Structures are given as C-alpha cells and as structure tokens.
Amino acid sequence: MGKWSRIMYHPNLPLGEDGNKVTASAEHIAISKNAAKEGMVLLKNEKSILPLARGQKVALFGKATIDYVKGGGGSGDVTVPYVTNLAEGFKKLGARVSLFEDSIDFYEDYVKGLYKEGKMPGLIAEPTLPEDILTKAKAFTDTAIISISRYSGEGWDRKSDKVIDRTFKGVDQPLIDMTNGIFERGDFYLSKAEEELVNSVSKAFEKTVIVLNIGGMFDVSWIKDSKDIDAALIAWQGGMEGGLATAELLCGLGNPSGKLADTFARNLSDYPGTEHFHDSDDYVEYEEDIYVGYRYFETIKDASDKVIYPFGYGLSYTDFSVSRVKIREDDGIITVKANVTNNGQYAGKEVVQIYVSSPQGKLGKPEKTLVGFKKTALLEPGQTQRVVVEFPVDVFASYDDLGKIQKSAYVLEKGRYKFFVGTDVRNARSAEQEYVLDDNKIVCQLTQKMAPVALKKRLLADGTYEMLEQGDASKYNENELTPLSEDELEGMSPAIRPEKSVNRYKPADKRQLIDVFTGKISIDKFIEGLSDEDLAWLVGGQPNTGVANTFGYGNNNEFGIPNVMTADGPAGLRIQPHVGVKTTAFPCATLLACTWDPEVATKVGIAGGEEVKENNIGVWLTPAMNIHRSPLCGRNFEYYSEDPLLTGKMAAGMVRGIQSNHIAATIKHFALNNKETNRKDSDSRASERAIREIYLKGFEIVVKEAHPWSIMTSYNIINGRRASENEDMINGILRGEWGFDGMVTTDWWTHGENYKECKAGNDMKMGCGYPDRIIAALEKGAITRDELNKAAKNILTLILRID
C-alpha cells in the first residue's frame, strides 16, 4: 500500500500475515494475560499455602468473584469481546481446582441482576453472605478465596475521610456504599460489609486467601495483621483475561514476580500528598516537595513506621538470594553486577533494585532514591544469573532552584554516595563500594523555569519546612483578546474546513504534502505556500472518520494533507461500543509498572499499536504517566508509579513498542495532572525542584530514550499558568532543554486560549481549534506567522512520520 493509504482511504485490511485481523486476536489476548501475570504482586503466603495443590477444593467469596474490574473508566476504558472474571478463570482450568458452586451461583445472580439495572463493574455494594452457603462451603473445603474489587475513573477522584459527611464533587457514581446519603468508610478501606465478609469467612476456614482486584493504593494493614488470613495476591486490574491470569497464578501455572510500584501505608492520611488533597477545588499545594512515596517514608522521621508493604516489595513461590555484588565507576558510568540465585523449588523471576543514598549537603536529599533495576530471566531451581545494571553518575544530581550552591543547576554535592542493592527499598543492603566526591560538581547549568508563585512552604529532609518567596502570576492571565466563554470552550466538535482558501502558490507551482515526503520540496517551502487561514485551520482538531471518536489532525485535501485519526486507550485501543469493533483490553498501567520489566510494556505497545493501525488510526493517545502523588487521584490506574525512574523506563518501553508500527505514541498528561476534581482550572503549586526531579523526570526519560512523536499537555494550571499555555514547560524545557522534536497537542477542550497555546509551543488544539481566534490574534500581533509556521511544521512532521 502507498503512503497514508490506511488513514486516507480506510481499507480496513487485516494486518495479520495469514490474512486474519490482529484486533482482539488470540495472540494479543494471550499477550494481555501474560503481562497480567508478570505484574501481579504476592503480598503474603504464610505456611506456603500457595500455589494451590492440583485438585484442591476451593470456595470463592466476595461479589468481586464475578464483579471483575478489567480496568478504569473514561478514556482508559476498552470495548472488549468478553471479560473473564475469577470464577470463570478457575473454571477454564478444569481439574486443576474443584469449586464450590453455591457461592458462585449466589454472587453471579446478585451481580448480573445489578448489571441489568445499569450498575457498573466495581461499583456494586458487597451483599450479605447467606449463612447456609457459608455452612455448606465449610463442609466442602477448608480453603476460601475472598475477592475485593475497586473502580475509579477519569474526571473524579477517590474519597478521603475528610469528605465523609459532604457531597463528593465530581463523582457521578460513588465508588463506595451509600446509606441515607452519607458516605460509608470504604474505597481506600474495606467497607463495613466487606469487613464482615472477611471476618466471618477467614474465621470459618483453615486457609484463607485474599485477591485484590484494584487499580491503585489500598489499605492492606488488615491483611498483614490478621492471623486468619494466610495469603494475599494483588491481582490489580488485569485486562480482559485478568480473572484467568489470577487463577493460573494461584494454581501455580506461573509464579508471581510483580513488585510494588508504590508504597502501601497503613492509613490514607499517612501519605503526605493526601492531607490537603480535597481542601480546595481551585488549587493543590505540593508542600511535600520531592518527598513523594518512598522518598517520604524512608526519609522523614517516624514515617517508616507507617509502611505496611514497602516500595519494590513482592514475594514469590520460590526463594532468591542476591550475592557477589560488585560496583565500579568508569568515566562517569556506574556499573552494578550481582548474582541472583533461585534457592527454592519453583521456577521464578526476581528484580534487582539499586538505590543511592546521597549526602544531605545544603540541598537535602531523600534517604534512598531508585537509580537502576533489572528483572531476571525465568530461573529454574538452583540456577544463577549474573545481572548487570548501568547508569550515569549524573542521575544522582539534585536541582538547586534557590541558589544554595548554584542557582538553576543540577548539582552533585561533595560527600559519599552509598549504594543499596536488593529486592525492595527496605531489604536493599549497603554495598561495599561507594562513590565519593571531594568537591561540588555542576552537572548541568539551566535557567529558571516554572517557578512557584503561590506555594508558601515546602518540606525538608529533617521534617521541617522551608519558606518560599511568592511570585507574580498576573502576567500569565492577561488576555489580548476577549476571553472565550465556558460554553464556547466546552464540548464543540471540529468544523469542516472550507474547500478552498487563498494560498501563496501560483497554480503551476502548487505542491502536495507527498512531495515533501518524496523530497521534491522542503517542508519549510511547503508551509510558505499555505495561507494564514490554512494554518489557522491546521492547528486545530478535525472531524472524525472511520471508527474514530476523538477527532483528527491535518485534513486539507487541497494540499494533500490527510485527516489522521486519533484514539484513546492507555489499556487498549478505545472504540465506542456502538461502532461494533471489539479490541483487546490490556492490564492497567499500575500493573504493568509492577512487572518492573520495560520489555513487557514493549510487547503490549507492539500489540496495541497493531490494533490501532489495523483500525486506521494514526495516533494513539497513550501512555499516560503522571506520578502517583496520592492514592486519591481517580486516574492513578492509568499511571505507572510514585517513582519517576520506574515510570519513565516503563513508558519508554511502551512508546518503543507502539511506534514500531509507524504510528504515533502520545505521552501524557504533561504535567502535574495528579487530581481530577476541577481538573481544567485547578492550580498545581509546586517548587521548581519538585517539578524537575519528580513530575517532569519520567517525561524527560521517555523523550530522551524513546523519542515519542507527540506529547499531550494537561488540563491543569501549574504555578499560575495553564499547562497548555506554559512556554517555560513546552518551548523552554521540553523543546529547549530536552530536544523534543515532535508535536504537542492539548488535552481535549482545555480552558486555554488557542493562540496562546500555539505561541507557547503547543501546536495542536483538540478536540477542535478556533481558527477565527487565530486569525484575529495574528492581525492584532498577539501571535506571529513564524510561530504558526513552527506549529504547522511540527504537525506536518508528525503526519509525515506515520505510515
């Protein structure tokens, strides 16, 4: 096929070598299931009751046995041919287990009845278990498996204790039970009904296993503390075959090798980003600064006592040892080597994690920071693998935003840098070798960007706070044109561009975009021939074609610019149900992060990208990679981790996989999009150091290692300036410092001003543009033709990259 034949003509031809479609194919569904098994985390396994013995009699309890949540809601949802719940997963294994049918029938009737009423998976209250079913189950077996599920989605956040007695804004369907209009304790915690179920079942059976079908951080203190609960598996939201993946692991058809990508603390209030999360819909103050996740719990006095399961934690059915650790530095590169040996009776995988403890110096540092990791191959009992991990010394550097050593520079402070090597942040052991600096070293001199204007203080390593100067954000909110009303900004569909417009080419010299691809004309020369009106239309979203529902880029037939469609779906290609196309739902991003294996993400990216391409979509709006600052963010299931290095490495793997199909990946949401409530107008207030070291670092890793073709700015305001209009962030850091050469798009229907976004380096306005505003701004001098040309060049370069 010729250039753009799929995206222009929509032939809907299969990509499979055998002439079959790859979309929702058996091969892709198997990739989804296997990825799910790689990221599920075994929390507890007392007396080694797992894996279940062949033919083991089992009783399943909890409505989540049937009410399985494959992934979160909103743009992360996927229309699938089927979903395998846990009960169905066990049944697919035949004689591997013997199931108590009465409890399955009870939950199946209950859940299916509520589904018929329009209830969504994960939003169903736990029913009271009939006493006669419990009695019969005890007579059938001594082993019970209790399942708990949770659901969250785009546009709303999870509940905190502070809002128990008031309406929870932004939630159309609360995640927890409601009685008399009052929120019951639940969501992060067990509901009262779930507590009663767990207590009655765990005390009735000799062996009790917990399965958590969740998308983010959750209270697991009751699991660790209970003597009646013998084992627990975080199965996460494992995609369309998550129930089968869970059943296979519980039965020993595979060995859990997932490691926590977040710290699991005892209480919701133990997370520093949670205390003021719901204080205001208008802003969020990132007072904890760089002390996010384990950086907080491992550093701040007494915080370590709040941890139930630490970052990087995860058990296996076998036992591993890490030995013969050797570390050396050569020309600024640190090389860590270690032996990993399987000392147990089952084949399995282990993850070697390397942390650095930096000198506190003048800037202050976290007690430990992840600097490298590597997952082993599948090791047979007795087998040893020599693991090698490399990273530059410069990753230890801290950003000095206040000039304590060198203002606006990444600095390595003098002193001893100690290495810790192990299999989670707590059990990592100090290595003999250290990296020592006799003098401070300026790693990279930059200039101030995105400085705070309203953040009053930030946390320091000793637990005290440092006061910050207040800036002035008024200049960011000046409008050269009369602002658009909210009705004008919200929910518009792209208009169809007039057939012809005045252009700068003489008829005989008129060129087509394909001439740029074939080298007949330069892209700059091509853009010179586009009229101002052509450019004004080009920098905005275009109408849907084919199966798309998120609009497109390009769409100028006069110059041969195709209309390239976009599609949602961090967990798989998202096509609206009424279209009739079913696609593969892959595990949620949090589960993928818990694989600690970028190659798993790459395989998912390849498969998902093939489905995107087969359905004639050119741009996939994934991966999403914001930091898990607080358990309360309703969209955490779309994001990877609390750690920027793990986030960046996993997302880079995904991007490489997607773009191997010659379609564009779009990393999002750039940046500090850590709250869904009032997300279009909430101000994220953070220090420049926290922004650079925590919230932008993952994006930086992906840009430099995987070279994504596009990036999506977020809805929110950052230190008084909208992300989509933030010239410091886009032209300054993304393009200027990191060398990004792709296209930048807004999120859909931001409250930013089209011409201001374009001027800041945000090339595309989605879901629709405002060409009249662009022309008016151009005539008034609020934007220049050169700035429009740059945006057009980035958009057309993206289209030229797609095949």
Cβ-Cβ contacts under 8 Å for 485 (sequence gap 6 or more): none
Tokens of 594: 């818990």
Give the chain's residues under pLDDT 50: 162-183, 508
Q: Give which of 37, 36, 41 is closest to 424, Cα–Cα.
A: 41
542, 555 Cβ separation under 8 angstroms: yes
Distance CA 323, CA 373 (A): 15
Dihedral, CA of residue 771, residue 774, residue 780 and residue 785, to nearest 10: -120
Give the number of domains in the chain. 3
**34 in a domain, yes or no?**
no
Q: Catalytic site residues?
A: 747
∠ CA 309-268-356, nearest 5°, is 45
**33 in a domain, yes or no?**
no
Tokens of 499: 């057939």
Domain of residue 647: give its range. 512-801
Q: Which residues pair with 42 in a beta bridge?
A: 233, 315
E runs forming strands in 128-253: 143-149, 178-179, 182-183, 207-213, 231-234
- 226 and 371 inside one domain: no
Give the pLDDT confidence score for residue 237 in this predicted structure.
97
384, 340 Cβ separation under 8 angstroms: yes
Dihedral, CA of residue 135, residue 140, residue 144 and residue 146, to nearest 10: -60
- 559 and 701 inside one domain: yes
Distance CA 38, CA 51 (A): 16
Give the pLDDT confidence score for residue 8 in this predicted structure.
74
Give the pLDDT confidence score for residue 802 in this predicted structure.
97
**456 in a domain, yes or no?**
no
pTM of the model: 0.95
**Domain boundary, last residue among 429, 448, 467:** 448
**682 in a domain, yes or no?**
yes
Q: Is 661 helix (H, G, I), strand (E, B) or coil?
A: coil
Cα Rg, the chain, nearest whole Å? 27
368, 408 Cβ separation under 8 angstroms: no
Distance CA 293, CA 643 (A): 7
Distance CA 73, CA 637 (A): 9
Q: At what angle do helices 131-140 and 101-116 cross, to 10 degrees?
A: 140
**339 in a domain, yes or no?**
yes
Distance CA 56, CA 71 (A): 29
- 670 and 749 inside one domain: yes
Give the pLDDT confidence score for residue 5 in this predicted structure.
76
**601 in a domain, yes or no?**
yes
- 250 and 321 inside one domain: no
CATH of the domain at 794: 3.20.20.300
Residue 772 burial (CB count, 10 A): 11
CATH of the domain at 246: 3.40.50.1700
Q: Is 479 helix (H, G, I), strand (E, B) or coil?
A: coil
* Average pLDDT over the chain, rounded to an integer: 93
Q: How far is CA 419 from CA 434, 435, 649, in A?
A: 6, 8, 20
- 339 and 213 inside one domain: no
Give the pLDDT confidence score for residue 165 in this predicted structure.
34
Cβ-Cβ contacts under 8 Å for 714 (sequence gap 6 or more): 626, 668, 669, 670, 671, 672, 673, 679, 723, 724, 747
Q: Give which of 701, 694, 752, 700 is closest to 723, Cα–Cα.
A: 752
Q: How many whole angstroms from its chain centre is CA 355?
A: 22
**Domain boundary, last residue among 425, 448, 471:** 448
- As a whole number of angstroms, the longest Cα–Cα distance in the chain is 88
**298 in a domain, yes or no?**
no
Q: In terms of DSSP H, where are the helices of 480-624?
A: 486-489, 513-517, 523-528, 532-538, 589-593, 598-614
- 627 and 731 inside one domain: yes
**484 in a domain, yes or no?**
no
Assign residue 408 a region: left if phi > 0, alpha if psi is -120 to 50, beta otherwise?
left
- 245 and 346 inside one domain: no
The residue type at 781: G
* Residue written as token pair 């399965």: 211
CATH of the domain at 334: 2.60.40.10
Q: In terms of DSSP H, where are the helices of 170-260?
A: 192-204, 221-225, 242-250
- 123 and 219 inside one domain: yes
Distance CA 762, CA 749 (A): 13
The residue type at 335: T
- 694 and 613 inside one domain: yes
Give the pLDDT confidence score for residue 1 in this predicted structure.
61
Give the pLDDT confidence score for residue 158 in this predicted structure.
85
- Strand 721-722 to 717-718 pairing: antiparallel
788, 774 Cβ separation under 8 angstroms: yes
* 3-class DSSP string for 583-594: CCCCCCHHHHHC
**Domain boundary, last residue among 234, 254, 274:** 254
- 755 and 659 inside one domain: yes
Residue 198 C-beta-side C-alpha neighbours within 13 Å: 24
Tokens of 310: 């630490």
Give the pLDDT confidence score for residue 162 in this predicted structure.
45
- 183 and 87 inside one domain: yes
Tokens of 587: 């595990």
Give the pLDDT confidence score for residue 44 in this predicted structure.
98
Sign of the Cα torsion 779, 730, 640, 387 reads positive
Give the pLDDT confidence score for residue 177 in this predicted structure.
39
Give the pLDDT confidence score for residue 475 in this predicted structure.
63
Distance CA 740, CA 711 (A): 10
* Residue written as token pair 């785009």: 154
- 240 and 341 inside one domain: no
